[in-house]
Structure 1
Amino acid sequence: MFVSVFRNPPWNENWEIESALNRLKDFYNMPYSHSIVAILEDRIVGFAIGYIEIWFQGKSFYLKEMCIDSTRQRSGIGTKIMDVLSQNLVSQNVNKIYLLTARDSPASAFYDQCGFCYNSKIIMMSKTVQ
């Protein structure tokens, strides 16, 4: 599901199954990893995975990946995953969730509807190394 969702627009990422599994296993094996899986008719139709981090302000959750089956998007599954994730994190004294996503994408619109906002104090920077 991860590979097929992220190969399509707006992401257009060329994931192989092995590298996708390794990425998700890395997050699963992180200390304080936390994930939510949505199952419908004995099939995974969505998930969210990330990990809890300690900050000077308390505990934060870094949402590394969230994915909903392409045929099930806009059906409420993502919202339900986010609601359950938030409830679970509150019970673990987490006071903030943060994530990275593509600007002006359907995903950013979804996160906006879930109450996320842009943080003017933080920017993402990258550097290609060779």
Structure 2
Amino acid sequence: MEAYAAAPWRECWSCELALARITELLENPGAVAVGAYQGKNLIGIAIGLPHTSAVGRTLYVAELAVVPAFQRRGVGKKLIAFVDAKAFEIGFRSVWLISQGDGTLVKFYLSNGFRQSERLRVYSRTCSAAAPE
């Protein structure tokens, strides 16, 4: 929760919602998860989910977070390396994620071998109770 409260996300997760999110991800068959620890304290996580498309089996990194006090110390880089190696071992073709389109995260992902898609964008809408007729 602390990792998302700081810049650039500035999201305020309740313990209840954070637990629901992590549980939701980990209950997916084939989920790949790793935690980074400083002693007994969890300081980072990465969770990937299988995704099959026309290009083959890929791993969608649904969560990658490092506590702010441990950012810029190689923790995120190690989490990505672990997830990538595990994905390769399992037989996935690539790993991918959705993140901000600009700012420091872009530099981080590009420096770790990710490329920005020129074709894809994220679209969302608020759910409504009205069913189509």
What TM-score comes out, normalization by structure 2 length? 0.89
**Aligned position for 2:131:** none
Task: Point out the structure with max Rg over C-alpha.
Answer: 2
- The secondary structure found in structure 2 opposite 1:94 is coil
Q: Which amino acid aligns with 1:128?
A: T
Alignment of 1:24-43 (within 5 A): 24-43=22-41
SS in structure 1 opposite 2:82?
Answer: helix
**Letter paired with 1:67:** A
String of CA shifts for 1:30-89, please: whole Å, max 9, x gaps. 121111111121221111002112223221001011111110100011111111111111
Task: Give runs of ≥4 in structure 1 deviating > 6 Å.
Answer: none
Name the CA distance, whole Å, in 2 between partners of 1:127 and 1:19: 20
Aligned-pair identity in percent equals 23
Q: Give, as a single letter, the amino acid of the residue that structure 1 aligns with 2:86.
A: N
Contact 1:32 1:53 in 2 (8 A): no
Structure 1: distance between partners of 2:53 and 2:101: 25
Cα RMSD over matched residues?
A: 1.2
Task: Mark the runs of 5 or more structure 2 residues left unpaired by the alignment.
Answer: 129-133
The answer to whether the 8 Å contact 2:36/2:45 transfers is: yes
Instruction: Return 5+ residue gaps in structure 1 as ranges.
Output: none
Matched length: 128
Deviation of the 1:95 alpha carbon: 1.0
